[in-house]
Amino acid sequence: MRKTPAALNGLKVTNSVATRLLSSVSRSGLASRGYVAYAVLDERASDASERREQARRHSRLQSGKLIDGNGRFLVECVFRDRSGAGVRLKLAGAVPLPRKIQLFDDQLGSLCAAEVIWRRGVEIGCKLAPTSIALNDKLLRRLRQPHYAVR
């Protein structure tokens, strides 16, 4: 009966280093002596800076518009990620934004209140209100136009 090692020692390295290490281990014949070598190619470890409470879903080619509390157009945007409680948006331009905004989803035709939590250049992260804002027909028609403008 073969005795198994009491502990498995590991070393975290980059993918290129891991590839070289694995090939040298396999050439050395360590596996036949009870040693194991492996590499993690796609690490999804928890990040201490991750504060999201719900899993995010990537969004592609989904557009929207940001408006202020008075219904004035601020900027167009593209949804990058969504979670149950928030969104990451890429803005069409670097415009100043108030902390409290409203986000119109072109695909769903819905409007919801949002709070800008962070900003990096033209990308912003927003916390969404749990319920949608009721839209009157006039505002909905204006928001659905390709070139939204306040009259």
Asked whether residue 38 falls in the same domain as residue 89, the answer is: no
pLDDT in tens, 91-119: 999 999 999 999 999 988 999 999 999 99
| 39 plus 81 within the same structural domain | no
Q: How confident is the model over 21-49, as pLDDT tens digits?
A: 666 656 666 556 655 555 554 444 444 45
What is the Cα–Cα distance from 113 to 130, expressed in whole angstroms? 9
| Structural domains in the chain (count) | 2
| Residues 140 and 85 grouped into a single domain | yes
In a domain, 62, yes or no: yes
More confident call, 68 vs 60 = 68
Rounded to an integer, what distance in angstroms lies between the CA atom of residue 115 and that of residue 17?
Answer: 43
Q: Which domain holds residue 109?
A: 57-144
Q: How confident is the model at residue 139 (pLDDT cuts 50, 70, 90)?
A: confident
